[in-house]
Structure 1
Amino acid sequence: MSGAVSDADANRAVSLTLRIGELLLASGESTENVTNAMRAIARTYGVRRIEADVNLSALTLSNVPDDGSMPVTAERRVRRREPDFARLVALHDLVGEITGRTLPLTMGRRRLQEIARQARAHPRWVGAAAPALVAASAAVLTGGGPVVALAAFIATLLGDRAGTWLARRGVAEFFQTAVAAAVGTAAAVLMIWQQVPVQASAIVVGAVIALLPGRPLVACVQDGIAGEYVTATARLSEVVFIVAAVLSGIGIVLTVAVKAGVRITVDDAPTAPLSLAVPQLIGALMLGLTFAVALRVPPKHTPPAALGGVVIWTAYVCLRWLDWPAVLATAVAAAVIGLMGSIYANRVRVPPIVFVIPAIGPLLPGSVMFRGMLKLNLGDVLGGTHYLIEALSTALAIGAGAILGIDVLRALGRRDIRRRIRPAARRTRGY
Structure 2
Amino acid sequence: MSETVSDADANRAVSLALRVGELLLANGEGTENVTNAMRAIARTYGVRRIEADVNLSALTLSNVPDDGRPPVTAERRVRRRQPDFARLVALHDLVGEIIAQKLPLTVARERLHELSSRARIYPRWVAATAPPLVAASAAVLTGGDPVVALAAFIATLLGDRAGTWLARRGVAEFFQTAVAAAVGAATAVLMIWQQIPVQASAVVVGAVIALLPGRPLVACVQDGIAGEYVTATARLSEVVFIVAAVLSGIGIMLTFAVKAGVPITLDDAPTAPLSLAAPQLLGALMLGLTFAVALRVPPRHIPPAALGGLIIWSAYVCLRWLAWPAVLATAVAAAVIGLLGSMYANRVRVPPMLFVIPAIGPLLPGSVLFRGMLKLSLGDVLGGTHYLIEALSTALAIGAGAILGIDVLRALSGRDIARRIRPAARRTRGY
Report the equivalent of 2:388.
388
Which amino acid is the alignment partner of residue 31 of structure 2? T
Alignment of 1:201-220 (within 5 A): 201-220=201-220
- 1:367 matched to 2:384? The reply is no
Q: CA deviation at 1:113?
A: 0.8
Cα distance in 2 between the residues matched to 1:175 and 1:166: 8
Report the equivalent of 1:22.
22
Structure 1 stretches of 4+ with a deviation exceeding 6 A read: none
Contact kept, 8 Å, 2:346 with 2:416, in 1: the verdict is no
User: TM-score if structure 2 supplies the norm length?
Assistant: 0.99
Report the equivalent of 2:127.
127
- 1:158 matched to 2:194? The reply is no
Cα distance in 2 between the residues matched to 1:285 and 1:118: 30
Alignment of 1:312-331 (within 5 A): 312-331=312-331
Q: CA deviation at 1:77?
A: 0.3
Contact kept, 8 Å, 2:410 with 2:416, in 1: the verdict is no
Report the equivalent of 1:181.
181
Cα distance in 2 between the residues matched to 1:2 and 1:302: 42
Alignment of 1:120-269 (within 5 A): 120-269=120-269
Task: For structure 2, list consecutive stretches of 5 or more residues without a partner in the other structure.
Answer: none
Which amino acid is the alignment partner of residue 186 of structure 2? A
Which amino acid is the alignment partner of residue 120 of structure 2? R
Task: For structure 1, list consecutive stretches of 5 or more residues without a partner in the other structure.
Answer: none
Cα distance in 2 between the residues matched to 1:404 and 1:3: 38
Cα distance in 2 between the residues matched to 1:173 and 1:119: 24
Which amino acid is the alignment partner of residue 54 of structure 1? V
Cα distance in 2 between the residues matched to 1:78 and 1:366: 29
Alignment of 1:23-172 (within 5 A): 23-172=23-172
Contact kept, 8 Å, 1:219 with 1:235, in 2: the verdict is yes
Cα distance in 2 between the residues matched to 1:2 and 1:169: 51
Cα distance in 1 between the residues matched to 2:126 and 2:379: 41
Indicate how the Cα distance of structure 1 residues 330 and 416 shifts in structure 2: closer, same or farther if over 3 A, else same. Answer: closer
Contact kept, 8 Å, 2:33 with 2:418, in 1: the verdict is no
Q: CA deviation at 1:117?
A: 1.3
- 1:428 matched to 2:428? The reply is yes
- Name the SS of the counterpart of 2:184 in structure 1: helix
Q: 1:66-95 CA deviation, whole Å, 9 max, x = no partner?
A: 011111000000000000000000000000
Q: 1:352-385 CA deviation, whole Å, 9 max, x = no partner?
A: 0000000000000000000000011111111110
Cα distance in 2 between the residues matched to 1:120 and 1:420: 28
Cα distance in 1 between the residues matched to 2:417 and 2:396: 31
Contact kept, 8 Å, 1:142 with 1:280, in 2: the verdict is yes
Aligned residues: 431
- Name the SS of the counterpart of 1:271 in structure 2: coil
- Name the SS of the counterpart of 1:2 in structure 2: coil
Cα distance in 1 between the residues matched to 2:321 and 2:39: 47
Q: CA deviation at 1:121?
A: 1.5
Which amino acid is the alignment partner of residue 173 of structure 1? E
Q: 1:129-156 CA deviation, whole Å, 9 max, x = no partner?
A: 1110000000000010100000000000
- Name the SS of the counterpart of 2:272 in structure 1: coil
Q: 1:94-147 CA deviation, whole Å, 9 max, x = no partner?
A: 000000111110110011011101121211100011110000000000010100
Cα distance in 2 between the residues matched to 1:101 and 1:332: 39
Contact kept, 8 Å, 1:60 with 1:74, in 2: the verdict is yes
Contact kept, 8 Å, 1:342 with 1:409, in 2: the verdict is yes
Cα distance in 1 between the residues matched to 2:308 and 2:185: 29
Q: CA deviation at 1:3?
A: 2.1
- Name the SS of the counterpart of 2:243 in structure 1: helix
